[in-house]
C-alpha cells in the first residue's frame, strides 16, 4: 500500500497515523495555505532575498536565485518567523503583484506580469472587445477627395491597429 504524505495540488503535508508532534505538520500546512490563498507578492523576478522581510510577505523568485533562494527559481517565496518557505508554481497560479499593481499569473512555464488572457471582454453583459477583426486598408481614391476626412479615418485605423483590435 502506498502512503501519501502531502496533498496533490498544494503539497500540504498530511498527518500520519500515530505521528508525534502533529501540530508541527498541521502548522506547516497552515503556513502554506496562508501563502497560497489570495496571494500578494511584494515583487517578482528578484534573485536575492530581501534584507529585512516581514512575516507573511511573499515574492516570486527570479530565474537565477542566489543565497537562501538558491535552487528555487520561479517559486513563490514566503517569509515566516521560522525562515523561508517555498512553493513551486503550477499552471494557473495567480497573485497580485503589489510592486506593479497588476495580476501576475503562471502559465506555459513562466510568470506573466500584467497579462490578462481572455477570449473576450464583457461589460454590462455586452461584448465590447472580442476576437481581432480583419485588416482594413487606409482610404485611397474615390470621386471626391476630402483630405480632412481621410486623415481622421487614417488616424482611427492606426489607433485600432496599435491596440490590436484590427490586423495590420
Rounded mean pLDDT of the chain? Answer: 87
Interval 54-76: pLDDT, tens: 999 999 999 999 999 999 999 99
Residue showing cell 510592486:
99
Q: In the structure, what pLDDT confidence band is assigned to residue 92 with cuts at 50, 70 and 90?
A: very high
Please list, in sequence order, all residues whose beta carbon lies within 8 angstroms of the beta carbon of residue 115, skipping any fewer than 6 positions away: 105
Cβ 156 vs Cβ 163: under 8 Å? no
Report pLDDT for 57: 95
Q: Which of 41-45, 77-81, 120-124 has the lowest mean pLDDT?
A: 120-124
Interval 106-146: pLDDT, tens: 999 999 999 988 888 888 888 888 887 788 888 887 778 78
Is the full-model pTM beyond 0.85?
A: no
Cβ 128 vs Cβ 114: under 8 Å? no
Burial 139-153 (b: 16+ CB within 10 A, else e): eeeeeeeeeeeeeee
Amino acid at each position: 500500500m502506498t502512503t501519501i504524505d502531502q496533498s496533490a495540488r498544494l503539497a500540504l503535508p498530511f498527518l500520519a497515523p500515530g505521528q508525534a508532534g502533529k501540530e508541527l505538520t498541521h502548522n506547516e500546512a497552515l503556513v502554506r495555505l496562508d501563502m497560497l490563498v489570495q496571494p500578494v507578492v511584494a515583487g517578482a523576478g528578484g534573485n536575492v532575498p530581501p534584507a529585512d522581510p516581514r512575516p507573511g510577505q511573499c515574492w516570486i523568485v527570479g530565474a537565477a536565485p542566489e543565497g537562501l533562494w538558491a535552487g528555487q527559481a520561479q517559486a513563490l517565496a514566503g517569509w515566516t518567523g521560522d525562515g523561508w518557505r517555498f512553493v513551486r508554481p503550477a499552471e494557473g497560479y495567480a497573485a497580485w503583484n503589489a510592486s506593479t499593481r497588476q495580476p501576475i499569473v503562471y502559465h506555459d512555464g513562466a510568470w506573466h506580469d500584467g497579462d490578462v488572457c481572455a477570449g473576450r471582454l464583457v461589460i454590462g453583459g455586452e461584448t465590447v472587445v472580442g476576437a481581432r477583426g480583419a485588416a482594413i486598408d487606409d482610404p485611397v481614391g474615390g470621386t471626391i477627395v476630402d483630405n480632412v476626412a481621410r486623415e481622421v479615418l487614417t488616424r482611427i485605423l492606426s489607433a485600432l491597429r496599435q491596440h490590436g483590435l484590427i490586423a495590420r
